[in-house]
A = this chain, B = another copy of it.
Amino acid sequence: MASNDLFNILSPDSIAIIGASKNPAKRGYRSLRKLLDDGYAGAIYPINPNEIEICGIGCLPDLGSLPGPVDLALVCTPAATVASVIAECAAKGVRGAVVLAGGFGEAGDGGKRLQHAVLAAARAGGVRIIGPNTSGMFNTHKACNLVGFSDLRKGSIGLLSQSGNMALSLVTEAQANGQVGLSTYVGVGNEADIRFDEYLDYFAADPKTNVVIAYVEGLKDGRRFLNALRRISLEKPVVIYKSGRTSAGRISAKSHTGALAGEYAVSEGVLRQAGAILAHRSDEILPMAEALSLLPSLRSRRLAILADGGGHATIAADALSERGLALAPLSEDTRRRLTAELPPAASVINPVDVAGGTDTDPSVFAACAEILLQDPMVDGLLISGLYGGYAVRFSQDLLAAEIDATNLIGAMPRRFGKPVIVHSLYGALQADQRPLPLLEMHRAGIPVHSSLETAVRCMQALAERGEVDHTFALSLPKRAQHGGIFEQVLARCRAEGRRVVLEHEGRASLRDFGLDLAPALLALDEKEAEEAFLRLGAQPVAMKIVSRDILHKTEAGGVKLNVVDVASVRSGFLEIVANAKAAVTNPNVTGVLVTPMAAKGGVEIIVGVVRDAAYGPIIMFGLGGVLVEVLRDVVFRALPISRNDAFTMLDEIKAQAILDGVRGGTPVDRDALADFMVSISDFVDAFPDIDELDLNPVLAYPDGLAVLDVRILLTESSGARSPLKEGIEA
């Protein structure tokens, strides 16, 4: 945690502007002007050897003339000068520097060398670097705006962005239509020194921030990011928009930042696991963050809809269901009380349609909202339709009643600890046309949206946050005991210079680690094959070649299934070995593995672990066969996973109904499956030498699992990698 370091830098009491200028087109002028105009209360030191004063502030000729240490330097000079500027900063005890210039790591080998020099100077002198190649930073609570975005409103949303323009989009939106305002913004730039994870830790500790938005294209060190994300998510929601979701997007992300943008499905899984609330549309980022800032989380996914017309009620119910939210069943008592308030044509089944019952008295809205929120099955309320515009639509006489209702509703989230969001078609009006009750609602901290879909998306974010709150405690990873067998296998592999762990070695290691795999016996000749068959109870067996040189066993004739008698076992052994020798020139054949045939009728699944370039080791779960290959119906999590993570993975695959039994079949044993996945995660987590692990297929039954194939591949060299050092260094 470096939050104390960053606190001085991101909340600076003194600022030097290196390359201060009198040219109004230059950042060295604009930033100074902005600090002065906004009334920045700290010390400001413009530095320029050619000017006496700028904007009435005396200029210093160089950093050496600074009267003492400075919290933050804004470096406006060209790339080639920055390394020596940073060295001078270090000499004067400057804590941090915002380096605006581009032409560093993102710009070829020459740029990379420059960036390396800057970093060396910074590290040598203890100066922390924001950027380079950044739009800058601002802290509204310090009136410190080093970006030049105009008119910032103070607020509680922290913003991290890999794109200055995206930041400008969000800031502009917050100014024009926002309800909350921003606390601190950092354009992370090339992340040469300070990276996302440290900024997240800063926001976790910053008392002025209660929600964070992060716009992410690629991550320099995904593993550290996930750990920081998990830490901050325990206390504050983080809304992440991860771009580069599609291959088309990825191409652009790469050329833009030079960072390696991971496969989106992986990011989606591991970011959610670490507590992130993921935005999938750029126009929903700010509304989601504002809802999370203003409202309590949803305790469940059950909501009530209160609408004043069937059209909006229907659209809202559609949108709710498409977002995985549910219409709460209303209690008898609730329905009876609603009936008493509303005309006979009203629907008092959720979605509630007041059917004109509010046209002459909008205060009925507050009464209905109160009744609905008192129902213990209702954990949140979405009001949809004409709300706020009754006076506009029907009569100005209704205005007072509508404002009264607004005040009552505005207090309900706090009173009930349940969120309320308003969709109003009058929200589409320009601010100066917008009806007074909507402005009041806005002021009271109730989000108002003209888009029903955005309103529902915000509710979903509150539900997601509620689930993070509730399940995070369960998510702390557990640690399993190391198995001794795999240590021996590892030593043997390294001694023999091979990366492939043979199947019998892998199976023995997993059994030793506590996994419930069927016994598998290695036979070195046909006699041992016969003995193995008899030891397994003379039940039908599968026989498989074991050879480091044969990866595709079936294609090489190295597999026989459903072998049922001694004679076939013996002839099978000879045939398999002969096939192997025919398939590959002079193969190293260890023997033939004999295993009991798996029971029929299981659901084919796949469990695998690979090392992601950004996030380190990740575990994948999917349904086998065509579903994985064609529909890519797989989910990912970062290692280690908790039991809760495993259950979430089972729930997230699209075809998860298959796990509940197809055509009236019995559901598979989800507990066994989750335990199995956690054990696999623990196993790989315990052995950084494992590069890849593939269990494919595994059959899942109503009462346990059968692993049909085990493939383990080791890293290139022993012990060189650890799960925490997986990031890509720039």
User: Which chain A residues have a beta carbon within 8 Å of chain B's beta carbons?
Assistant: 24-25, 102, 107, 150, 161-166, 168-169, 172-173, 175-177, 215, 217, 241, 243-249, 251-253, 255-257, 281-283, 308-315, 317-322, 326-327, 345, 347, 349, 351, 353, 385-386, 392-395, 425-426, 428-433, 450-454, 626-627, 629-631, 654-655, 657-658, 662-663
5 A-B pairs closest in CB distance: A163-B311, A256-B310, A165-B309, A249-B318, A246-B321
> Judging by beta carbons under 8 Å apart, are A345 and B243 in contact?
no
List, sorted by A's number, 30 A–B pairs whose CB atoms are closer than 8 Å.
Answer: A163-B310, A165-B425, A166-B312, A166-B315, A172-B426, A176-B433, A243-B314, A243-B318, A245-B322, A246-B317, A246-B322, A248-B320, A248-B321, A249-B321, A252-B351, A252-B353, A255-B310, A255-B349, A256-B314, A256-B347, A281-B453, A282-B452, A283-B450, A283-B453, A430-B432, A626-B658, A627-B627, A629-B662, A631-B631, A631-B655
Please report the C-alpha to C-alpha distance between residue A217 and residue B317 in the assembled complex, in whole angstroms: 13
Q: Which residue of B lies closest to A325 (CB)?
A: B248
Interface on chain A toward B: helix, strand, loop, or mixed SS? Answer: helix
> Judging by beta carbons under 8 Å apart, are B244 and A165 in contact?
no
Q: Which residues of chain B are near A175, meaning CB under 8 Å? A: 429
Q: Which residues of chain B are near A658, meaning CB under 8 Å? A: 626, 630
Q: Which residues of chain B are near A654, meaning CB under 8 Å? A: 631
Shortest A64–chain B CB gap in Å is 33
Shortest A388–chain B CB gap in Å is 11
Task: Say whether, besides A626-B658, A629-B662, A311 and B450 are in contact (CB < 8 Å).
Answer: no
> Judging by beta carbons under 8 Å apart, are B282 and A315 in contact?
yes
Task: Say whether, besides A107-B345, A345-B107, A253 and B314 are in contact (CB < 8 Å).
Answer: yes
> Judging by beta carbons under 8 Å apart, are B172 and A428 in contact?
yes
Q: Which residues of chain B are near A663, meaning CB under 8 Å? A: 629
> Judging by beta carbons under 8 Å apart, are B318 and A244 in contact?
yes
Q: Which residue of B lies closest to A307 (CB)?
A: B165
> Judging by beta carbons under 8 Å apart, are B428 and A430 in contact?
no
Which one, B172, B257, B309, B452, contacts A429 given CB within 8 A?
Answer: B172
> Judging by beta carbons under 8 Å apart, are A318 and B425 in contact?
no
Task: Say whether, besides A215-B311, A256-B310, A451-B282, A246 and B318 are in contact (CB < 8 Å).
Answer: yes
List 9 extra interface pairs beyond A217-B311, A283-B450, A430-B430, CB under 8 A.
Answer: A150-B392, A166-B309, A168-B393, A169-B428, A252-B351, A282-B451, A626-B627, A630-B658, A631-B655
Please report the C-alpha to C-alpha distance between residue A394 and residue B241 in the assembled complex, in whole angstroms: 27
Which one, B246, B252, B431, contacts A347 given CB within 8 A?
Answer: B252
Q: Which residues of chain B are near A107, meaning CB under 8 Å? A: 345
Please report the C-alpha to C-alpha distance between residue A215 and residue B433 in the assembled complex, in whole angstroms: 26
> Judging by beta carbons under 8 Å apart, are A311 and B162 in contact?
yes
Please report the C-alpha to C-alpha distance between residue A568 and residue B452 in the assembled complex, in whole angstroms: 66
Among the interface residues A161, A168, A172, A245, which one has the most CB atoms of the partner chain B within 10 A? A172
Q: Which residues of chain B are near A314, meaning CB under 8 Å? A: 163, 217, 243-244, 249, 252-253, 256
> Judging by beta carbons under 8 Å apart, are B245 and A318 in contact?
yes
Which one, B249, B320, B321, B386, contacts A165 given CB within 8 A?
Answer: B386
> Judging by beta carbons under 8 Å apart, are A248 and B163 in contact?
no
> Judging by beta carbons under 8 Å apart, are A283 and B452 in contact?
yes
Q: Which residues of chain B are near A630, meaning CB under 8 Å? A: 655, 657-658, 662
Among the interface residues A161, A349, A451, which one has the most CB atoms of the partner chain B within 10 A? A451
Task: Say whether, besides A163-B309, A165-B311, A282 and B453 are in contact (CB < 8 Å).
Answer: yes
Q: Which residues of chain B are near A432, meaning CB under 8 Å? A: 430, 432
Q: Which residues of chain B are near A451, meaning CB under 8 Å? A: 281-283
Q: Which residue of B lies closest to A397 (CB)?
A: B25
> Judging by beta carbons under 8 Å apart, are B353 and A256 in contact?
yes
> Judging by beta carbons under 8 Å apart, are B315 and A243 in contact?
yes
> Judging by beta carbons under 8 Å apart, are A283 and B321 in contact?
no
Please report the C-alpha to C-alpha distance between residue A308 and residue B164 in the assembled complex, in whole angstroms: 11
Which one, B244, B395, B655, contacts A25 given CB within 8 A?
Answer: B395
Please report the C-alpha to C-alpha distance between residue A478 and residue B624 in the assembled complex, in whole angstroms: 42
Q: Which residue of B lies closest to A309 (CB)?
A: B165
Q: Which residue of B lies closest to A174 (CB)?
A: B428
Task: Say whether, besides A451-B283, A454-B283, A627-B626, A311 and B243 are in contact (CB < 8 Å).
Answer: yes
